[in-house]
Amino acid sequence: MDTKLWEEKLKQALIISQQREIDLLEESELKGKDAYKFSKEFENKMQTLIDSLNNKENNKNNENSNKIVNLKPRKLSIKKKALIVVAAIVLIMSMVLTVEGNKETLIKIIMEIGRVMDRITFQQEEGILDTIREEYAPTYIPKEYILLEENKGKMIFQNENRDEIIFWQISPRGSSVSVDNEDVIKKEVKISSIQGTMVESLDKDRSIIYWNNGRYLFMITVYFRDEEELIKIAESVRIKEK
């Protein structure tokens, strides 16, 4: 048997068969009345997954699997990478904090401005504030919302329409947060006397506010458009009483 000829014909047939199937799928997807609206739970899970992409486990997996299925990967030259670094990284704040035992720790909060996402990263020189020591929580939440879920550093409130208010307190070490910067309006706001950033989606009712107090990064996501109300929630964030 001419194995090569057989494999070639089989490959050709598989490609055509798969392409026809995909065409049919896309056709039937387009026939649907509206694009499917994913649930907020799904969106949150996906956001968490996206945020976790930089962890060591994934990097390890990536190193282990080196076969390219598709086209050639884009490769950035060292020079180009360095240029991107210079262009993309903006140091927005660095401060010296006095912590336990009068030991000084330098915490840098770095904002990277990407094409579709802003990423905020904490860095510190000495590993001291590696976990959340004081838990913060908003003391004001619009009355129609109830606490649905609470994990260390994260609280989800929900109203009857299943709209959520999500509060995050993020510890410094190795943390990073991603925030959409595509199709959004971004502006600087004051939360009490602290400078913060508010990001409002242009195409959907979603606003995010984030700020830091030098020890922690805070972020609140709401699914409504009311700047004053969002700032009010942010300003109410206090250390939780034990």
- Closest to other proteins by CB, 159 vs 181, is 181
- Closest to other proteins by CB, 183 vs 227, is 183
- Closest to other proteins by CB, 181 vs 236, is 181
- 146 near 160, Cβ under 8 Å? no
Among residues 171, 138, 166, 139, the alpha carbon closest in space to that of 154 is found at 166
C-alpha dihedral sign at 156, 169, 220, 114: negative
**Minimum separation from the CB atom of position 242 to other proteins (A):** 36
**Minimum separation from the CB atom of position 100 to other proteins (A):** 26
The whole-angstrom separation of Cα 235 and Cα 201 is 21
Q: Are strands 89-98 and 146-151 parallel, antiparallel or unpaired?
A: unpaired
**Minimum separation from the CB atom of position 196 to other proteins (A):** 23
**Minimum separation from the CB atom of position 54 to other proteins (A):** 5
**Minimum separation from the CB atom of position 128 to other proteins (A):** 20
- Closest to other proteins by CB, 72 vs 242, is 72
Point out which residues bind other proteins (CB under 8 A).
Answer: 1-2, 5-7, 9-22, 25-26, 28-29, 32, 35-36, 38-39, 41-42, 45-46, 49-50, 52-54, 58-59, 61-62, 65-74, 76, 78, 81-82, 84-85, 88-89, 112, 114-117, 119, 121, 178
Q: What is the DSSP string of 148-208?
A: EEEETTEEEEE-TT--EEEEEEE-STT-EEEEE-SSEEEEEEEETTEEEEEEEESSSS-EE
- Closest to other proteins by CB, 28 vs 193, is 28
